[in-house]
Amino acid sequence: MNAIDKVKKYLVITSLFFLITSAVSLVLNIRGTQKQYRELATVMGRSFFQTIVATRKWNAEHGGVYVPVTAKVQPNPYLEDPLRDVVTTEGMRLTKINPAYMTRLVSEILKEKNEIQAHITSLKPIRPHNRADEWETTVLMAFERGAHEETTLVRKAESDIFRYMAPLKVDASCLKCHAKQGYQAGDIRGGISVSFNYAPFQTAMTVQNQKIVAIHVFFLSAGFLIIWFLGTGLLARVRELQEAQSLISKLEGILPICSHCRKIKADSPGSPAESWVNIEEYVREKTAAEFSHGICPNCYKVLYEDDLQKAINKKQDR
């Protein structure tokens, strides 16, 4: 393999390395963006969960709250409390809203206004509609093994749904309703799952990924342009070097030279007499070298020393 082929091979390897590096960087950046928005969705789900838990705690600390009975707010049939329903002195009928019931009412508002659904669930629910679905069942069992929170992304044709779930632990205020189920303070009684549309996150992620792709394409193009520019210059230098080496090889080869006039027989068209040229002319034609003329000590001695000595002697005789 000659030098030019080696240079081309190295340029191809460099280009492939740059291409693979850019591709790996692109994939890692896109995955990083996906992870970033997944974490952002998790923070959002966690915030809703913590807000609901804080609301439940406030409710439990007050022993439940009374609200007027309406078409949307009916007495909770699963609340065993002799003071569940009361009537004010003005004749208004009130019903007690316990933490679980409040969670359901808040969930209905969130779903209606923000397309966010909160579902309180348990492996041993008092209310049948609070029964865990397949994913929630798996997560609840994970909570009992020590997990702190779980997330998943449900792929759907119309829009993906992000789900977040964290556990609910039994405290003293919970035992009033749940002690009969065998729970003790500190037990995992259930959990709250929060579900919401993931489309806004996907839209933002798509925009971010488009920017990442554009940046990588720009730097990839710039890198290939630099490799091409430097490679072209390098190939030109290698070609010049090969030509110089070829010329040196020719100059170091056996050349016909006249033993009398020192002319060289060149491979040039014309008559035999015209093919014999001076050494200076031959080298100047084959290279970029220029000549300056002088005389070596030996030639000077042969050509001029005797005449110089005669001139000195003649001057002394005078």
pLDDT the model gives residue 289: 67
What separation in angstroms does the CA of 307 have from each of 138, 294, 303, 311?
118, 19, 8, 6
CB count within 10 Å of CB 118 equals: 23
Tell me the C-alpha distance between 59 and 65, whole Å.
6
Contact between residue 98 and residue 177 where contact means Cβ atoms under 8 Å apart: yes
Q: Are 150 and 142 in contact (CB under 8 A)?
A: yes
Asked if residue 238 lies in contact with residue 4, where contact means CB atoms within 8 angstroms, the answer is yes
115-157 confidence digits (pLDDT tens): 788 888 888 887 888 889 999 999 999 998 888 999 999 988 7
Which backbone phi and psi does 270 adopt, to 5 degrees? 125, -175
> Which tens digits make up the pLDDT trace of 178-229?
555 556 666 677 899 999 999 999 999 999 999 999 999 999 999 889 988 8
DSSP letter assigned to residue 186: T
Question: Angle CA(32)–CA(155)–CA(216) in degrees, nearest 5?
Answer: 30
Residues 6+ apart with CB under 8 A from 213: 26
Judged against a pLDDT cut of 80, whether residue 259 lies above it is answered with no
pLDDT of 63 strictly over 70: yes
Q: What is the mean pLDDT of residues 71-78?
A: 87
When mean pLDDT is compared across 24-38, 168-182, 276-290, the lowest value belongs to 168-182
Q: Set out the domains of the chain in order of their start, with CATH numbers.
A: 33-205 (3.30.450), 264-317 (no CATH)
